Amino acid sequence: MPNSRLPRVAASLSVALVLAACGDKAGDGKQGAAPAAPPPVSVTALSVEPKRVPVTIEAVGRTEGSREVEVRARVTGILERQLFREGEPIKAGTPMYRIERAPFEIALQQARAVLAQEQARRDRAAGEAKRLQGLLASRAISQREYDDAAASLRQLDASLQAARAGVRQAELNLSYTTVKAPISGVAGRSQRSEGSLVSGATEAGLLTTLTRTDPLWVRFSLSEGEYARLRAGRGDASPVTLESPATGGANGAAAQAAGAPLPTGRLNFTASTVDPRLGTVQLRAEFPNPSLALLPGQFVRLRVAIGEADSILVPQSAVAQGDRGPFVWVIGADDTVSPRPVQTGEWVGRDWIVREGLKAGERVAIDNLIRLRPGAKVQPKPAQAPAGAAPGSGDKPAAPAAN
């Protein structure tokens, strides 16, 4: 019985080997087949055309008050009261400090007493001179006696003028005991506390500072080449757009998207010499600052508009960075893409200015860039322009960024 089962086991093994061999051949045939070509990548294609854009120069500056004044004591005395709050706006003529008045009131009384004495002496001398003049006419006295009386009268006239000046000086010193704001501005920190001895002749006389922040000045510098471009453009009439820390960067982009205008000012000073150490020219611009959004001492970015030019614009999303710098994906006539190195300039809204590398009429892929490879087939679709704007144009002017 066991010997009769062997032929059936051998037959089963033969069938299994035949099936395995057939399976291996089928698998080998499947691995040797050519892979299917990937489908074209769908991209948005932008046909670039020259557009009229502003030409600007970017600079970094520092804000300063249009007027900065030290408030000092002009007389020596004890500081009795501080009449203002530090850091608050103050109008010109507003009392800020009060210095002890009693010593100056006494000095004024003394000066007035001296004036009264000199007036009395002068009146007496005038009467004497008039009496001697009559005696001289009748030859009752000599000419010398009358000349002495006249000289004494002139001397007393001078003394009277000095006494009057002394009264005016005493009145002026008394008025200086009330220290008033010389200009309208924002008060700084008080340098002297109540009860301190202040003196107008020393550093102890510095009480505080006042800074006018509306309008605000921004001091900056340009290289010789940039200054030459400025002079060749609009010159001193060039408008200056300010980007403060409150409106720059991401916040600035949000403000622009919301339609908030950036502060615009004008140049009010240009240096007449070039700094020999840095090779730069100092300039200053004036900006309105009614809400005190900017404070003196802040570093800000600004743009100086020097004219307009025809330039090719591409969205910032279309520019990629490679080992050799920025490049874009150009779509050929056969709908294949190839990388093209470009030289970028400033920003205009959400677009880059392309100075070199693109020609009018060429198509550029502006999305799905991560899926693109050189020579890859794409399925281009036209770019849709935002409402009220042409494709590739900036919505609003934004901060330029140097390449």
Look up the CATH number of the domain holding residue 241.
2.40.30.170
Based on the fold, state whether residues 250 and 272 are members of the same structural domain. Answer: yes
Which three-class secondary structure state does DSSP give residue 205?
Answer: helix
pLDDT of residue 322: 87
Residue 99 above 60 pLDDT? yes
Same domain, 281 and 353: no
Residue type, 150: A
Residue 248 reports pLDDT greater than 50: no
| More confident of the two residues 95 and 353 | 95
Q: Establish if 188 belongs to a structural domain.
A: no
Q: Answer with the one of 308, 342, 370 that is the final residue of a domain.
A: 308
DSSP label at residue 377: B
Q: How many domains does the chain have?
A: 3
What percent of the chain shows pLDDT beyond 70?
A: 81
Strand partners, 197: 78
Indicate the residue among 308, 337, 365 that finishes a domain: 308
* Confidence (pLDDT) at 232: 85
Please report the pLDDT score of residue 9 as a whole number.
37
Q: Is 124 in the same domain as 166?
A: yes
Query: What is the pLDDT of the chain when averaged over all its residues?
Result: 82
> What pLDDT is attached to residue 258?
42
Query: Which residues does 83 contact at the CB level (< 8 Å), separation at least 6?
Result: 94, 95, 96, 97, 98
Residue 245: band (very low, low, confident or very high) from pLDDT cuts 50, 70, 90: low
112/309: higher pLDDT: 112
Residue 192, token pair as written in the block: 């002297």
348 and 318, same structural domain? yes
Q: Is residue 277 part of a domain?
A: yes
Query: Is the pLDDT higher at 400 or at 156?
Result: 156
DSSP category for residue 191? S
Asked if residue 72 has pLDDT above 50, the reply is: yes
Same domain, residue pair 304 and 218: yes
391: pLDDT confidence band, cut at 50, 70 and 90? very low
The highest-confidence range among 21-25, 167-171, 236-240, by mean pLDDT, is 167-171
Lowest mean pLDDT among 169-173, 199-203, 327-331, 379-383: 199-203
Total-model pTM: 0.63
Whether 15 has a pLDDT exceeding 70, the answer reads: no
CA distance 220 to 304: 11
User: 301 with 317, same domain?
Assistant: no
Cα 153 from Cα 146, distance rounded (Å):
11
Segments forming the whole domain that contains residue 354? 43-52+310-382
Pairing of strands 41-47, 378-382: parallel
Residue 251 DSSP SS3:
helix
Cα(202)–Cα(133) distance, integer angstroms: 54
Q: Which pLDDT value is given to residue 236? A: 78
Q: Is residue 158 part of a domain?
A: yes
Is the residue at 278 inside a domain? yes
> Are residues 125 and 146 located together in one domain of the fold?
yes
What pLDDT score was predicted for residue 247?
47
Is 287 a member of any domain? yes
Q: Domain boundary residue among 265, 292, 308?
A: 308
Average pLDDT (266-287) is 92
Could you tell me if 230 and 301 lie in one domain? yes
Q: What is the mean pLDDT of residues 44-64?
A: 89
Residue 341 and residue 263 in one domain: no
Predicted confidence (pLDDT) at residue 290 exceeds the cutoff of 80: yes
Q: CATH number for the domain including 352?
A: 2.40.420.20
Q: What CATH number has the domain bearing residue 159?
A: 1.10.287.470
Query: Does the pLDDT value for residue 171 go beyond 90?
Result: yes
Q: Are residues 297 and 328 in the same domain?
A: no
Q: Does a structural domain hold residue 394?
A: no
Residue 87 is assigned to a structural domain of this protein: no
pLDDT digits (tens, 9 = 90+) for 26-42: 444 445 555 666 788 89
Q: Same domain for 217 and 298?
A: yes
Q: What is the mean pLDDT of residues 385-389?
A: 46
Is there a domain that residue 242 lies in?
yes
Q: Residues 6 or more apart from 132 whose CB is under 8 A from it?
A: 141, 145, 146, 149
Which of the four pLDDT bands, split at 50, 70 and 90, describes residue 256? very low
Type of residue at 139: R
Compute the average pLDDT of residues 1-5: 45
The number of residues making up the chain comes to 403
Query: Does residue 55 register a pLDDT over 90?
Result: no
297 and 335 both lie in a single domain: no
